[in-house]
Amino acid sequence: MDRRVVVTGLGPLTPIGTGKAAFWEALCAGRSGVRRVDDRIDLSGIDVRIGAPVLDFDPLDYMDRRRARRIDRAAQFALVATRLALIDAELEPRDLEPERVGVVVGTGIGGLQTIEETFVTLIENGPRRVSPFFIPRLMPNAIAGEIAIEYGLRGPNFGVVSACASATHAIGIAGELIRSGLLDCAVAGGSEAVLVRIAYAGFARMGAISKRNDQPERASRPFDRERDGFVMGEGAGILILEEREHALARGAHIDAELVGFGMSDDAEHITAPAEDGAGAAQAIAVALKRSGVSPQKIDYLNAHGTSTPLNDKAETEAIKGVFGEAAYNLKISSTKSQIGHLLGAAGGVEAIATILSIEHGFIPATLNYENPDPECDLDYTPKPVKRTIDTALSNSFGFGGQNAALLFRKPE
């Protein structure tokens, strides 16, 4: 039997909105979540002052104090996003066969906030003051584990760590587990919470993040000639994936069908993408080939589009390498222009944005695209566009040269 994978629930927790309706409204309105963050994070000695935080998040609105204290902010985000996705899917886990429901959730770094806070405690107060929850809180796989514990899900459960491609890999792999027959349903996506001093220090020393401190909302400018680095964000994006017949049997609303997944590696440099975009092109080409959809049939591409000089050029080359002349007719946009770069969670939130674009026939703009770059010469959608979208791609590329692409189609 041909097992098809569909999306039935969307749970975004982002710098511009929590929940499907709020996130989509802000995305369509072109609202930016980038702002000064030095009023909440000690950035002394660091020449970056901006980020895209999730504002007004109180874990006690969603869980008791004891649970909140035992888990990292990234796991808190993931639990909330999972709840949102399950509500959107009108799915009650206790009504499912727990062994047939899996959890595959990615993160780029894991509990970095926990690591930073515990290191300070160790230095200032000694090892006996280190929390016994330190190791369980920092583990990247703890995020998926906490979701399983919350809902009693006993199927395959693991974390995916592939830098900024983590969530996209997680969604694609979860889809493959369903397609193979191992699962009927999966919680998949990513979560990240690393707006902390040590992360800012590290990325700033690399020269990877924007220093446009005086104009925060204009700092994330994918594909623009004046781009100077990405803007760090935080949040989570969780999807509910189901085998199609399983979803239809319970009368679920189907948001989209996941018809293609591709992954590859540049095998060239630990942080810089291959200049010719060959590895990224391979991942996109594999997603297309496995779906049986020709490049000419793609209506929209949600780009990785980080706003870094190297990545945006390499992604442009990758798109040209796969689409050829059709690349110039393709609508492309980067939601990172509004929400910043959520690192390991980026692919989850961007998959949600891609699916909502299909559902509503609307392509959000790439904000701040003002100065064309001759090396990035495609259509990056500087203004939002209404159009029918039947098929759409979502790209994610990460440090380590790790590339992933997802292809979604309007449900039949």
Pull the structure tokens for residue 371: 């100065």
User: CB–CB of 379/330 below 8 Å?
Assistant: yes
Strand partners, 232: 341
Give the single-character DSSP code of 31.
-
Alpha-carbon gap, residue 60 to 67, rounded angstroms: 9
Residue type at 336 in one-letter notation: K
**Residues whose CB is less than 8 angstroms from the CB of residue 200 and which lie 6 or more positions away in sequence, other chains included:** 41, 43, 46, 48, 51, 209, 232
Residues near 143 by Cβ (< 8 Å), separated by ≥ 6?
74, 75, 78, 105, 107, 110, 159, 191
- Tell me whether residue 164 is one of the annotated catalytic residues: yes
- Whole-angstrom Cα distance, residue 49 to residue 351? 28
Element (H, E) at 386: strand 385-386
H-run or E-run covering 408: strand 402-409
354: how many CB neighbours lie within 10 A of its CB? 26
| CA–CA gap between residue 103 and residue 107 (Å, rounded) | 13
To the nearest 10°, the Cα dihedral for 297, 385, 355, 299? 0
Greatest Cα pair distance in the chain: 63
Question: Of residues 169, 185, 246, 341, which has the active-site annotation?
Answer: 341
H or E element that contains 32: none
Residue 189, strand partner residues: 105, 238
Active-site annotation holder among 169, 185, 246, 304: 304
Given the residues 164, 169, 246, 376, the one annotated as active site = 164
C-alpha distances (whole Å) from 86 to each of 79, 81, 93, 188 are: 11, 9, 8, 11
Q: Is 253 a catalytic site residue? A: no
Is 246 noted as a catalytic residue in this protein? Answer: no
Active site amino acids: 164, 304, 341
